Amino acid sequence: MAKHLQDTTTLHNGVKMPWFGIGVFKVEEGPELINSVKTAIKNGYRSVDTAAIYGNEEGVGKGIQEGLKEAQISREELFVTSKVWNADLGYESTLAAYETSIKKLGLEYLDLYLIHWPVEGKFKEAWRALETLYKEGRIKAIGVSNFQIHHLEEFMKDAEIKPMINQVEYHPRLSQNDLHEFCKRNGIQLEAWSPLMQGQLLDNDILHEIARKHNKSVAQIILRWDLQNEVVTIPKSTKEHRIIENANVFDFELTNEEMDVIHGLNQNLRVGPDPDNFDF
């Protein structure tokens, strides 16, 4: 159980990944982005998650450089994730996309590189490229995003290396129990994107009641629920007070009963695209 912002889970290849990080989805290039990454690092975050399609890898890279300097820590102490976009899925094109990403980020290597979406007929070739980069030591860990059980099963028929991570939409309205169990059985760490359901859960009465008991915000209750479910989480924020508040979830624990009540909110409801039915 994570007891501190810098606590890590050990992936199946032995690499340690922080349980908690900052996401930058929909944060545009510019001072706000640079500042949010720098602020997170300064306040103890050790994991940053971006993607090629977010169009903000350069700003994230600047934020990382400034954050490392201010926090006086080394690059090795930070865990950086990016993702290859659908248009670049293919052996050669994925290798090229990786080069572009690390160049924009201004880094020598990535800690984690993910296939962003399971585009049928394309993701296996892309995975071969990730395996190559991994074997060359240019990525510390490789994984996937938005993969359902059937995608993973199909994928693992040919994969030489099992994905270390599956990053999916995950929040109390979409708890993906079957997928979570499948990943656990196969040693794949689940990671949550959109853990706060893009703000749609913040006025939920049941969560408010639990938050009141613990003297915490609804966001903190949800993020704590992620951690107690052993799911890595990367909430997005650009405001310093919120970045600090989001990470202030290590000084309390939800009871088993509260965990069950939150589980009971599940409606298999997505705010993002359906991995079985997307056209981009």
Q: List residues with catalytic annotation.
A: 54
Q: Residue 117 class from Cβ within 10 Å (0-12 exposed, 13-18 middle, 19+ buried)?
A: buried
CB contact at 8 A, 70 and 89: no
Strand partners, 110: 139
Contacting residues for 154 by C-beta, under 8 A, at least 6 apart: none
φ, ψ (nearest 5 deg) of residue 219? -60, -45
| 33/239 Cα distance (integer angstroms) | 10
Q: Residue 6 class from Cβ within 10 Å (0-12 exposed, 13-18 middle, 19+ buried)?
A: middle
Contacting residues for 241 by C-beta, under 8 A, at least 6 apart: none
